[in-house]
Structure 1
Amino acid sequence: MGRAEERRARQRGGHRAAPKRRRSAPAGGAAPAPGGSAGPAPGRRAAGKAAKPPKGRIRRLFTWKKILGTFFGLCLLTIAAFIGLYMYVDIPVGNADAQLQSNIYKYSDGTMLARTGQLNRESVDLAQVPKDVQRTFVAAENKTFYHDSGVDLRGTARGVLNTLMGRGTQGGSTITQQYVKNYYLDQNQTVSRKLKELVISLKLDRQKSKDYILAGYINTSYYGRGAYGIQAAAQAYYHKDAKDLSVQEGAYLAALLQAPNQYDWAIASDTGKKLAVARWNYVLDNMVKQHWLDAGKRQALKFPVPKAPKAAPGMKGQTGYLVDAANAALEKQLVAQGRANSIGDAEALVKKGGWTITLNIDKKKQAQLEQAVTSQLISKLDPKKRSVDGNVQPGAVSVDPKTGKVLAMYGGADYFKHFTNNATRRDYQPASTFKPVILAAALAEGATTQDGQPITANTIYDGTSGRQVVDRGSKVGFGPPNEDDQDYGPITVQTAMNKSVNSVFAQMGVDVGMRTVMATAAELGMDTKGMDPVPAQTLGSMGASPLEMAGIYATFDNHGKKVTPAIIKSAEHKDSDLALPDPIGDQVIPQKAADTVTSVLTGVVDDGTASDSVAGNSARHGQQVAGKTGTSDNNKSAWFTGYTPGLVTSVGLFGEDSKTHAQVPLTGATGPLNPIGHTGRINGGGYPAMIWASYTFEAMGDVSKFDLNTDQGAAVQPTQTPTHSQTPSQTPSHTPTSKPPTSSAPPSKTPTQTPTQTPTQTPTQTPTQTPTQTPTGGISDNPLDPGGGRNFGQ
């Protein structure tokens, strides 16, 4: 055997095998394999290894190397995708003007009401805008504008994430991004749009100067009042050119961009005005921080109140009010359905055009309402002879209670002359038209008086003027006077409603609980956000609009099923339609409670404060009517909201100074506003009720009766003559003066006072008592009475 063969033989013989200590004995004690090998066969050894359980498989699968590699891989993919997107997306041709199209508005029968869309924009060179004014926009929106790259990556990432998660969008965009959105893209909140915005902004910042971008931004932004661009905005808010704007005026225009509708001084709520001033201060303070404005000069600046707005062309008469009301309703729905992130965005989408909006407005009834206001009020006013006549602002809304459709609306004498829509404004008190809400709450909740008697139409209350309201034996510090400080003594709820007796409903509100009253008001459709329940609200001391009150009374008329007045019948866009909610909602108060309120309110018309204007109208022809009058604190507003089974209409008159637009009484130093035989103040039973009757009896159709599920109220019980045998009480009594009480139980408390005088006449209608005393009266300074305590009620 050669050396090579011998060496191979030794190798085969196991001389290079593993040391003995690592050998495993063959299974079953078998002898070692020939050649000296003590290990198992290769196949058996492999099988043995496979049979062992895996160790740390998850740990081996998710090693830090693999995780880091995956992360960097995703980063590379993202970078590659962005580079591809950057190369693919070019700066498009500006198309903002092309996207702004006409909106078409139609009556319910399809006939044309209005066409809008004439673009109110006049671009100006940046050189024509004062440098300080330019900087107000930078201070407001993007302090790093002059040295950033045109994008806010963190803000954009946050916006993309919120969009993906359905949270809408948040702030964070630079001026460059906002300009791209306004001019090159659109307001749609999608991931693809935001990514395009990011790429175009980066490219635009590299290719164009900062002045070019800033000029484009302030010339394409929407400022409200139909104004696009700073020149149109300067004219709309300050009636001057952009070149003449002061720094404080520029700061207000810059502040407007955050919320044009909310911050517009002419239509802003008190909260909106506070927010606008806060934003204005924010802009100027930022200018100081950027060393663009001297701190001493900044302290001397005062808020520049904008001038009254000018009406857009083609919107004269009632047309502008109807179009604005339709736009407001459309914008609200766009936000509610997630198609716009805010009212400001929704307003921009509507102004952008392409909508065909059909209103529920009935062309014939609209003309009838306008004619009623003109014939019963406008034609009798002469501001040239009596300046106080120029202070009256009428507003009215008519609603179908079965469908919720707004059939007619009167917003003011002319949209050109008075921008604010009197039919939708909420800055005046509804006064005693709120009293039926208190009764509705009592009936719906089964409330009782202080001594445990159920509150019904026949429950007796003390109608003494100025009587201090009692809550479980303790006075609450509130005692409102009745109209003319008249005392009624013990009277039924029915009579108290007929005569609009403040002292009775103040006590009833506390008996029911003001939280319950205000909760019922909210369910019926009143906006009660931010209101703390207090006894003074029984006088209707909160703000409300004719549209709001029409909806509440329509719910009464609809047997307690919620009616939300709807001015829009349909809204179609060139790209998509908008689904509208059903104006008729759920049962919010029991049918019997709603029908009892209606029954009680027929007494106001037949025997109460509206009887002269409504019950005696020759055109009534036996039509059954329910309604309530109201006259607010210091006679600043007068109301009548009334209804038939098929038509609800709320009419309000508002005292507004024709120059300052401040609230003023509907009377003047030289006499009353109305020149036709009235010698005192205007009240709801006068002009408002006259307008209502003139319109309703013309527009209502066939004579009809209410179908009521109740055994209470004037509609189901005959009027009786009081006996005057009882005496008034400081606590609620339960002896009727006009109708028998429904409760058979006698009162638990006896009268504590007797009148000092006796009636000299026997009333012929549902009664009142001759006043037993003449309180000194006066305007209350009680903190529970923010309305002043003299909401006279009629």
Structure 2
Amino acid sequence: MFLIKKLLKVSLIVFILAFISVYILYLSMRSDLPSVDSLKDLHWQTPMQVYSRDGLLISQFGEKKRIPLTFEQVPQQLIDALLATEDDRFYLHFGVDPIGMGRAILGKLMGQDKGGASTITMQVARNFFLTREVTYTRKIREIFLSFHIEKLLSKDEILMLYINKIELGHRAFGFGAAAQVYYGKNIKQLNLAQIAVLAGLPKAPSTLNPIRSPSRAKARRAVVLQRMLVSGYISEQEYQSAKAAPISAKKHGAEIELNAPYIAEMAHQEILKRYGKEKAYTEGYKVFTTVTAKLQTAAQQALVNNLLNYDQRHGFRGPLNSLRPKQATKINKLTEQQAQLLTQDEITNVLAQNNSYQMLVPAVVTAVENKSVTIQLRNNELATIDWPGLAWARPYINDQKQGRPPKVASDILHYGDIILVSKMADSSYRLGQLPTASAAIVSLSPDDGAIKAAVGGFSFKQSQFNRVTQAKRQVGSNIKPFIYSAALEHGFTLASLVNDAPINQWDRSSGVVWRPRNSPETYAGLLRVRLALAQSKNVIAVRLLQSIGVTNTIKHLTAFGFNANDLPHNETLALGSASLTPLEVATGFATFANGGFLIEPYLIERIENSDGDVIYQANPALACDPCLPANNLGMPAQETDFQDSSSTLAENPQITKVKQATRIISPQNAFLITQALNSAIWDADWTAKPGWQGTGWRARTLKRRDIAGKTGTTNEAKDAWFSGFSRRLITTSWIGFDDPRHILGQTVYNNNLGKNQTTGKEFGAKSAQPAWIEFMRVALADIEVEAFQLPVDIVSVRIDKATGKLTTKTDRTSQFEYFRLGHVPTDYVSADNTSAILSGSMQKEEEEELF
């Protein structure tokens, strides 16, 4: 008894001394301990997410992947697995587990690592406030912080901090993100085997993760399941079933619902500019753009299809590479298949090394028949490309020439060739190749500038250069509507006659004669302004610019938002030598569609913080005639309480102040140019000699009279354009080469393909307009037919087609034309001009009056 009492006294003294020592140590460290109060109002660092207007995830930006969870969102099996593995007495201790701590200390004294020293609370303290250095000082600070945390928070709150904070490998922080990264699922969709894999990661996420080391992950999973079984969380049957399950994890990115990488990057750059890099990547901003899934997908498909069609009609540039070069197969006169047969490993490895682009996927040719080839795709899938999928592939020689059409499959491909193929709608396969040409398409709302769709190239993987916003290209005849708009401001009308005849002008600066020419090089003599724009007459555009002057023209064009530095200060401006981006061109055309207002394109509709609060709401300037007094040309954007009926207001009732866009041209000017651009699509006259039709006539396939547009082709066809619009949508399509050494060229007839093929020289209507038509067919389906509104002070009178003068005739020599009040012709035609209409000529005395 004496020894026992002695031992108890010594133990009590040791305990008191230890308590005093710990308390003194605590007092000495207290001032250095970080405050845990921040855990009460914690702001999780979450990545920025970009969404479409209809709420589909486009992309995610941020170094740390985190999907914060609430307690209700966490499966009970995950909680059970974590408690069984990390801290089975979590709900019983006060932040430090004496049993676990004692076991760990005893293990150290015995030279064995027993583990169990760190509770979940201690891990929270370390993860939020301390480093991972292995020192006794850090461990003591960890213990003290755990006491503070337990005092401040409930057990459930501490557990959720752990679940959302812990690093779990592959930049996944928290179990919500880990479920997405490893399994591509919501945390509640995981089964027991998958949950056990994740629960085993905190011990060593870099070495135990199932992607890097499936065998170690499986072994760790078995430990987790065993502890869950011993703790009574799962039954023997559940244990055996989960233990036997295969490791199914593989790396997943964010669950992208809409593939729009160019849109994502545009939004990304704007957020960086607005908030800075640190906030952009950590504040969990949800960025909602103005694009919709339907229109963005349609734009993407239209651009890709058009580029593939252009590229393939110019010929096949050969396979990417070959596993068995043609000359190597001619060994001992064996067949290609007999000479050095390909191994499965060779095929698998080379397919893994080659990228997919859009619908183009890599394949290896494993057999060549007379009119077909057999290919192997990834996942050991075999397929056949029949002759319809091969027949296009005549050899590419250069931009202007193609070789002879192939007659058999061996004219195109050989055994071992590495190629790109696409799967068609009918499940057949087609030989493909990555286009060398580039393209862009952008669509805006002319009412407020909202970007409805934008695609900056064939594949973001191929090139991240966004040609919608970054590529300044010569615009060709896409500049003409703006030249003609300036002409209307300087006294011209749609009925004014201008001489469509060659120009020979001495250029003093270069010492040569400047001879701008039409394309095609045909001339009609005196021609009305409406028809000149519809037929895209180059020399008439030059004559109009000469009449109003370069300075006046540039002043007029800069009002459309064009930078004066991008506009050449000479007469080549009329031929489209200016360099603009597709977005700038579309913005300019929007002015004609909306009745004369300059809108500012915008992509971000609203931004929400991580709590779902709206921290930014777009309030664009609106192009709305009722918003502004009449004839207020040049008035800047301003605010008013007037409530407009635009979609922007209807969908955002919190906006009470309407910003009104600046009017830059009169509604009459915009209407008249729109009428001429409508003629570019719908007008034609085959009774005249020579007969003619507008350059945009291919758009008639849309069967919409409420559209207008303009083609554009630059010198040597380096760039091709089509910009067109309805009242509610403006779209610009561009195609060309990033490499300035290339031109769009021309093609000849391919005997293998039949009648429905594009041949001849490439230009705006052939090369750029098809993408515009394909996109607008989808976009216009949801837009009701809406005629362009006739503004006040516009009248319609019957004129003589040949002279533009008033007429009383009602036969085919006359038509109705629109004029602004004060610009209506006053003279009536005095002679019978039927012969002039038919021949395309005019009376000499009338010709001499014009330049």
| RCO comparison, higher one (Cα < 8 Å, 6+) | 1
Greater Rg by CA: 1
